[in-house]
Amino acid sequence: MSDHYTLFHNPRCSKSRAALDLLRARGLDADVMLYLDTPPDAAALRALLGKLDMTPRALLRTGEPEYRELGLGDLTLDDDALIAAMATHPKLIERPILVRGSRAVIGRPTERLLTLLD
């Protein structure tokens, strides 16, 4: 597995800050992606979902106002619609996400990140 790490990071999120602290405490460098400033496009989100082995709906932050405003709770919405919403409104993307090679994990709880650190 690759030793290259990328962290999808929101500095205002305590879990995201804890993820960065965990990496630094272990002496690991990661490319920090401030995804709210530079949102991933639909293709990047699809690739990320493949690494996470999850559906777009599972990656959504359902507590965000945009989730309700955009009607994303509608179960008839397809994956393309959900991915488009996340690309346009990156606050909808769960965080933090650590990527290493062909795998990724959401750091909730932070200890889940350890599965990528060996």
* pLDDT tens-digit readout, 9-48: 999 999 999 999 999 999 999 999 999 999 999 999 999 9
Q: Please check the confidence at residue 1 and state whether its pLDDT lies above 70.
A: no
Query: Do residues 13 and 90 lie in contact, with contact meaning Cβ atoms separated by under 8 Å?
Result: no
Q: DSSP string of 39-106? A: ---HHHHHHHHHHHT--HHHHB-TTSHHHHHTTTT-TT--HHHHHHHHHH-GGGB-S-EEEETTEEEE
**Residues annotated catalytic, as ranges:** 13
Query: Residue 64 to residues 51, 86, 91, 92: CA-CA distances in angstroms?
Result: 24, 11, 7, 7
Q: In percent, how much of the chain has pLDDT > 70?
A: 97
Q: Structural domain tally of the chain?
A: 1
- pLDDT > 60? residue 75: yes
Structural domain boundaries, residue 86: 5-116
pLDDT at residue 2, rounded to an integer:
67
The CATH number that applies at residue 26 is 3.40.30.10
With beta carbons less than 8 A apart as the criterion, state whether 114 and 98 touch.
Answer: no
Which tokens sit at 55? 């559906």
Position 28 scores a pLDDT of: 92
